[in-house]
Amino acid sequence: MNSRILELAKAQSEKIITRRRDFHNYAEVAWTEFRTASIVADALTGLGYQVLTGEEVINQEAMMGVPSAKELAEQEKRALEQGANPAWLAKMRGGKTGVVGIMHFSQPGPTVAFRFDMDANDVVEAEVEGHRPYKEGFSSVNKGAMHACGHDGHTAVGLALAEVLVGLKDVLKGTVKLIFQPAEEGVRGAKAMVTRGVVDDVDYLIGMHLGFALKKSNSVTCHTEGFLATTKIDAVFTGVPAHAGAAPEVGRNALLAVSAAALNLHAISRHSKGASRINVGFIQAGTGRNVVPANAVLKLETRGTSSEINEYMYKEAVRILKAAAAMYDVTVELTEMGGAVGCESNPELVARLQQVAVDSGLFDEVIPSVNLGGSEDCTYFMERVQQKGGQATYLIVGTELMAGHHDSHFDFNEEALVSSTALLGEMAAELLK
């Protein structure tokens, strides 16, 4: 079986790389992955999958950090000009760019889901000869959007896996779900798919990422730990403008309120049960030196090694933001822009898949575990599957990186695409046999 799967993966080697480079060339950021999602939906349909998209897989009320209606319309128009299928765009309107491909095999069995993220980063890609995508002509044509985290590779692997599984239809049992998620950057997209119920019937869920702590090809881990729960908040303070010399008492100073908030947010007591984080990453306020500032914006994030710790940090942050507004007699409006829960993989599933990785012969190193030390909203999928009685884990496949994740020079060794596809195919065969 392993040799059959490897041959099916190798047969797509050129196609996987071509697709990855195409997605890289036309990078699309969170909630605007119209072209990418359209190509995914077309490919899955052509392979015989049942394809769900738009409102079928996205709960609009749970979408976080969504661009304005004007921006969404502009990006949809651009996607159409760049080759997106208009039939899919009509379903994805409003940024509902998630796609799920479902295939039921001839005999009953478990439901296995694989999750792949599709979005790019808000990064201007490097235009220097030393950067391979630029040198070889597939760097992003969409300025300010760049696949600087490998999601173009993830999406290409997901489609390659879809084709491998079609080639194994005669021996697989149960159901497979291939989940292509928008808006992972900023941890904004998974919750909208989870609350729509796309994994409520899943027995096993597998997430995957290229690189991160594994910067060496032919290495893999089936146990990623250290997921930090997180919440991203935008706080908009609104006061009253006034002439700073003639009538300062009339004004209500939003700049002072946001400053007090920033200082006191960083004074939140740390939690005794584990690591906690808070960061104010952006402040903007005021219009001129002689005007009492009436408006201010603060962007922050909280994190914790568990959902409990992050919830503590979040509640304290909200309390301080509201108190700072009250101190200066201004109002504050809070918007949740992203989030992820803390989560642990299921040891039984990890052990089972680690053995698959060893038996595959694809890797020189099968590493027991890797600490992510960050946030990934695949944890929403993992948590829901576990709540429903299923099992979940998250893989990292090693690859050499030409620069760090989210760097304008980011690139990876494309040889990892075929090995990733073969590995996931073998895992599917193990769970659906």
Span 298-332, pLDDT tens digits: 999 999 999 999 999 999 999 999 999 999 999 99
Rounded CA-CA distance 358/355 in Å is: 5
Domains of the chain: 2-226+342-431 (3.40.630.10), 229-340 (3.30.70.360)
- Burial class of residue 94 in the structure, from the number of CB atoms within 10 Å of its CB (0-12 exposed, 13-18 middle, 19+ buried): middle
Q: What is the pLDDT of residue 358?
A: 97
Which of 154, 40, 20, 18 lies closest to 97, judged by CA? Answer: 40
User: pLDDT digit string (tens) for 358-394?
Assistant: 999 999 999 999 999 889 999 999 999 999 999 999 9
User: pLDDT digit string (tens) for 17-33?
Assistant: 999 999 999 999 999 99
Q: With cut-offs at 50, 70 and 90, classify the pLDDT of residue 1.
A: confident
Contact present, 194 and 346 (Cβ < 8 Å): no
Q: Rg (Cα) of the chain, in Å, rounded?
A: 23
User: pLDDT digit string (tens) for 28-87?
Assistant: 999 999 999 999 999 999 999 999 999 999 999 999 999 999 999 999 999 999 999 999
User: pLDDT digit string (tens) for 412-432?
Assistant: 999 999 999 999 999 999 999
Burial 109-145 (b: 16+ CB within 10 A, else e): bbbbbbbbbbbbbebebbeeeebbbbeeebbbebeeb
Q: With cut-offs at 50, 70 and 90, classify the pLDDT of residue 215.
A: very high
Average pLDDT for 388-414: 97
Contact present, 194 and 188 (Cβ < 8 Å): no
**Alpha carbons within 13 A on the beta-carbon side of 394:** 27
User: pLDDT digit string (tens) for 127-160?
Assistant: 999 999 999 999 999 999 999 999 999 999 999 9
**Residues 233, 331, 295: CA angle, nearest 5 degrees:** 80
pTM here is: 0.95
Rounded CA-CA distance 230/402 in Å is: 28
Q: What is the pLDDT of residue 373?
A: 87
User: pLDDT digit string (tens) for 171-197?
Assistant: 999 999 999 999 999 999 999 999 999
Could you give the percent of the chain with pLDDT greater than 90?
98
Average pLDDT for 263-288: 96
Residue found under tokens 């027995």: 203
Q: What is the pLDDT of residue 327?
A: 98
